[in-house]
């Protein structure tokens, strides 16, 4: 079984992991949250500079904690798309350099494929086909995973991503960054039925609504209007707003994902990305899925948000198929997951 050193620097976490197929030997995540929270969101230039300073100590720690040497490694992988170009460049340049110095194959990894593979870390026997609900700071996607590396995008967001909506609503409530975990915690003490908020359905030109696509910008505006109205009446019930907002997102995502699974004829749903850590979503999705005999798998909490263990897990699947990436592979800010095969040349 191949042992892979994987690097993830697509946004604001410098992460390095050593993975043996679906077994995590070490996973180091150096978060930049404190740095970016001063600005209320990720500042790309600061992210790149911080990755540069942190990457080498993270690599050293990952090797030490896994108790492996360079000789023990079979390949070096790094997230190469999509993400912040300057941030991706740090991880990919480090991985390519190590691949050259230690004469190992290099594998570029699609960030969303990493999030999909995070579910294999808690469920090593998981097999396609399944629907993956991928909800992060940059994405809200319903992906039909037909087979390994065969992806079909069935649903997406028309505006804000789910995590982005959590971050923006937290900002409206002056709660800090990143908003998701803060709202999640506050929602525990609030009433989810206190306020009725719009789920953000997408109208179709021929009438009716899109079954899987979502929109969160209307929900965010509704929260803004609600706050403005409540401000004129006295104290704002922050926990009730957080709970009502979270319940609305959970309901909207659950309804669409279940519909997507039923229409696709699959009885397994996986969830990936930072918002997969949300307790409201986890509870509601599992409950509704149960009534349809659908099984739901979430990654372990620490592998929901960005990490390199998921990157290594996806890379080892490609490595096992004899694939590797060219050292000329370039980082890309955008890349559809259906194009993932473009990252590899088959070596077998
Ligand atoms: O996957 P991720 O770490 O980075 C991206 O690829 O975007 O996701 C980060 C996003 C942020 O928007 C953050 O607010 C959200 O995930 N998030 C959560 C929770 N933990 C992180 N959202 C809701 N509930 C949580 N517990
Ligand atoms: Zn991510």
Is residue 200 located within the same domain as residue 275? yes
CATH number for the domain including 254? 3.30.420.40
- Of 184, 301, 305, 311, the residue with max ligand 1 atoms within 8 A of its CB, to mutate for a pocket test, comes to 305
Domain shared by 147 and 196, yes or no:
yes
Q: Are residues 291 and 311 in the same domain?
A: no
In a domain, 168, yes or no: yes
Mind listing the pLDDT tens digit for each residue in 79-130?
999 999 999 999 999 999 999 999 999 999 999 999 999 999 999 999 999 9
The residues lining ligand 1, judged by C-beta closer than 6 Å to any ligand atom, are 11, 136-138, 163-164, 166-167, 178-181, 184, 273-275, 277-278, 305-306
The string of pLDDT tens digits covering residues 4-15 is 999 999 999 999
Per DSSP, 18 falls in state: E
Residue 57 confidence (pLDDT): 98
- State the Cα–Cα distance between residues 167 and 40, nearest whole angstrom: 9
Whether residue 347 is predicted with pLDDT greater than 80 in this model: the reply is no
Do 252 and 275 fall into the same domain?
yes
Pocket test for ligand 1, best of 33, 275, 300 (most atoms within 8 A of CB): 275
Distance 275 CA to ligand 1 centre (A): 5
Measure the CA–CA gap between 26 and 36, rounded to whole angstroms.
26
**pTM higher than the cut 0.75:** yes
Q: Are residues 148 and 287 in the same domain?
A: yes
Beta carbons of 279 and 250 less than 8 angstroms apart: no
All residues with CB under 5 Å from ion ligand 2: 136, 306
What gap in Å lies between CA 319 and CA 148, rounded to an integer?
A: 13
Mean pLDDT of the chain: 96
pLDDT at 212 over 70: yes
End-of-domain residue from the set 280, 298, 316: 298
* Of residues 155, 133, 158, 122, the one with CA closest to residue 310: 122
**3 state DSSP class of 113:** helix
Statement to judge: residues 319 and 334 lie in one domain: yes
| Ligand 1, atom 18: closest residue by C-alpha | 180
Same structural domain, 241 and 329: no
Which atom, in ligand 1's list, is nearest to the CA of 273?
Answer: 1
* Structural domain that includes position 110: 3-118+305-346
The answer to whether residues 315 and 258 belong to one domain is: no
Same domain (yes/no): 65, 44: yes
For residue 109, which phi and psi values (nearest 5 degrees)?
-125, 140
Question: Structure tokens of 224?
Answer: 């803004």
Other C-beta atoms closer than 10 Å to the C-beta of 309 total 31
The Å distance, Cα 164 to ligand 2 centre, comes to: 12
Question: 3-state SS of 176-199?
Answer: CCCHHHHHHHHHCCCCCCCCCCCC
* 41: confidence class by pLDDT, cuts 50, 70, 90: confident
Q: Same structural domain for residues 106 and 144?
A: no
Ligand nearest to the CA of 114: 2
Cα 311 from Cα 78, distance rounded (Å): 7
Q: Which tens digits make up the pLDDT trace of 180-200?
A: 999 999 999 999 999 999 999
Together in a domain, 288 and 160: yes
Residue 123 lies in a domain: no
Q: How far is the CA of 23 from the centre of ligand 2 (A)?
A: 20
Q: Count structural domains, the chain.
A: 2
Q: How confident is the model over 142-162, as pLDDT tens digits? A: 999 999 889 999 999 999 999
């Amino acid at each position: 079984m191949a042992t892979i050193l994987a690097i993830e620097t697509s946004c604001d976490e410098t992460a390095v992991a050593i993975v043996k197929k679906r077994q995590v030997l070490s996973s180091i995540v150096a978060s930049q949250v404190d740095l970016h929270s001063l600005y209320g969101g990720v500042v790309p230039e600061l992210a790149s500079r911080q990755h540069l300073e942190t990457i080498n100590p993270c690599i050293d720690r990952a090797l030490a904690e896994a108790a492996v040497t360079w000789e023990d490694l079979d390949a070096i992988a790094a997230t190469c798309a999509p993400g912040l170009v300057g941030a991706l460049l740090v991880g990919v340049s480090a991985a390519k350099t190590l691949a050259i110095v230690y004469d190992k194959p290099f594998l570029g990894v699609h960030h969303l494929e990493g999030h999909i593979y995070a579910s294999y870390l808690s469920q090593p026997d998981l097999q396609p086909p399944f629907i993956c609900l991928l909800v992060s700071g940059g994405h809200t996607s319903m992906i039909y995973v037909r087979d390994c590396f065969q992806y079909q995008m069935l649903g997406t967001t028309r505006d804000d991503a789910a995590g982005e909506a959590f971050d923006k609503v937290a900002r409206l409530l002056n709660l800090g960054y990143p908003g998701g975990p803060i709202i999640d915690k506050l929602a525990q003490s609030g009433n989810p039925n206190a306020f009725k908020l719009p789920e953000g359905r997408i109208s179709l030109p021929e009438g009716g609504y899109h079954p899987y696509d979502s929109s969160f910008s209307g929900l965010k505006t509704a929260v803004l209007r609600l706050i403005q109205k409540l401000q004129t009446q006295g104290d704002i019930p922050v926990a009730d707003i957080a709970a009502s907002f979270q319940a609305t997102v959970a309901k909207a995502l659950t309804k669409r994902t279940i519909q997507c699974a039923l229409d696709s004829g699959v009885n397994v749903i996986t969830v990936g990305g930072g918002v997969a850590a949300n307790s409201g979503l986890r509870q509601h999705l599992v409950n509704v899925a149960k009534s349809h005999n659908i099984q739901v798998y979430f990654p372990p909490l620490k592998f929901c948000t960005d990490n390199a263990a998921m990157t290594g897990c996806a890379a080892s699947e490609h490595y096992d198929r004899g694939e590797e990436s060219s050292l000329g592979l370039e980082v890309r800010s955008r890349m559809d997951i259906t194009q993932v095969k473009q990252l590899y040349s088959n070596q077998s």
